[in-house]
């Protein structure tokens, strides 16, 4: 489950890093700051939308992924 959470963070983080670095390379510091802030907001929203159901249905998700009863929480 932790891997799914990390993947969501990487999804927005890598994209934001690309936009921020290109903006700074062009000398557009304002766009870089906005992109960084937007990525934090997007990451927070995605975490709420995606992680809440993962937390609520973790047993079902783990069983679907093939986890045995010994490793279920």
Which structural domain range is residue 53 located in?
7-64
1: pLDDT strictly greater than 80: no
Q: Is the dihedral of CA 34, 35, 39, 45 positive or negative?
A: positive
Residue-wise pLDDT tens digits, 36-53: 999 999 999 988 898 888
% pLDDT > 70, the chain? 97
pLDDT of residue 2: 80
pTM score, two decimals?
A: 0.69
57 within some domain: yes
Residue 71 lies in a domain: no
Number of domains in the chain: 1
Q: Is residue 72 situated within a structural domain?
A: no
User: Above 80 in pLDDT, residue 73?
Assistant: no
User: 7 pLDDT band (50/70/90 cuts)?
Assistant: confident
Q: What is the C-alpha separation between 16 and 30, in angstroms, rounded? A: 14
* Residue 17, in any domain of the structure: yes
Is residue 38 assigned to a domain? yes
């Amino acid at each position: 489950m932790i891997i799914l959470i990390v993947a969501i963070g990487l999804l927005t983080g890598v994209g934001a890093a690309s936009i921020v670095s290109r903006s700074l390379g062009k000398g557009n510091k304002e766009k870089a700051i906005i992109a960084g802030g937007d990525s934090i907001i997007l990451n927070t929203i995605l975490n709420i939308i995606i992680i809440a159901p993962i937390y609520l249905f973790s047993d079902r998700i783990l069983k679907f992924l093939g986890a045995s009863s010994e490793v279920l929480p």
